[in-house]
Amino acid sequence: MPPGSTFHPDLSFDGKKLAFSYFKDSKELADRRYLLWEIGLGGSGLRQITGSAKDLMAGRDGRNSHFIEDFDPYYLPDGRFTFASTRVMTTVRCVNNARWVLSMLQKMVLWLSTHLPRKPYSFSCWTRMGWP
């Protein structure tokens, strides 16, 4: 992988795959966000499992964000996974004195993957209302 930042890896229940958040060190705006990736434990099969160019200015319920980011993958026994995301536009990542900080405007929202390639869906409470 190109230089960047990885964190919060999770091992699949069958012990064959590892999912993690990855931020590419790039000058391209579309690449400068955390997305989820997956790789086989033997080092093969590296693939991006969330994120696309369409996400960059995607919004929900009339809200927009410059960055749709995905964090903290967690595999489920059936092969799906949950993850935290800014897709509901209630959380943003900001820079403070060259240090990355998560600014919690309200909450990170949990998402559940379907068996890909279908889109994930939110299962946190209050994701449609905007206020808990």
Give residue 59's pLDDT: 56
Give residue 34's pLDDT: 86
Q: Is residue 118 part of a domain?
A: yes
Q: Is residue 132 part of a domain?
A: no
Q: Is residue 52 part of a domain?
A: yes
Residue 13: strand, helix, or coil? coil
Note the Cα 2 to chain centre separation in Å.
Answer: 18
Q: What is the mean pLDDT of each run of 10 residues along the chain (132 residues)?
A: 87 94 79 86 91 64 65 86 73 48 47 60 53 38
Full-model pTM: 0.69
Domain holding 81: CATH number?
A: 2.120.10.30
Give residue 46's pLDDT: 94
Q: Is residue 98 part of a domain?
A: yes
Distance CA 107, CA 104 (A): 6
Which strand (E) or helix (H) includes residue 119?
none
Q: Is residue 131 part of a domain?
A: no
Q: Please enumerate in sequence order all residues whose Cβ is within 8 A of that of 88, keeping only pairs 6 or more positions apart, or say none.
A: 60, 63, 109, 122, 124, 127
CB 48 within 8 A of CB 35: yes
Domain that holds residue 90: 4-122
Give residue 17's pLDDT: 94
CB 123 within 8 A of CB 111: yes
Q: Is residue 127 part of a domain?
A: no
| Domains in the chain, number | 1
Q: Is residue 105 part of a domain?
A: yes
CB 110 within 8 A of CB 76: no
Q: Is residue 10 part of a domain?
A: yes
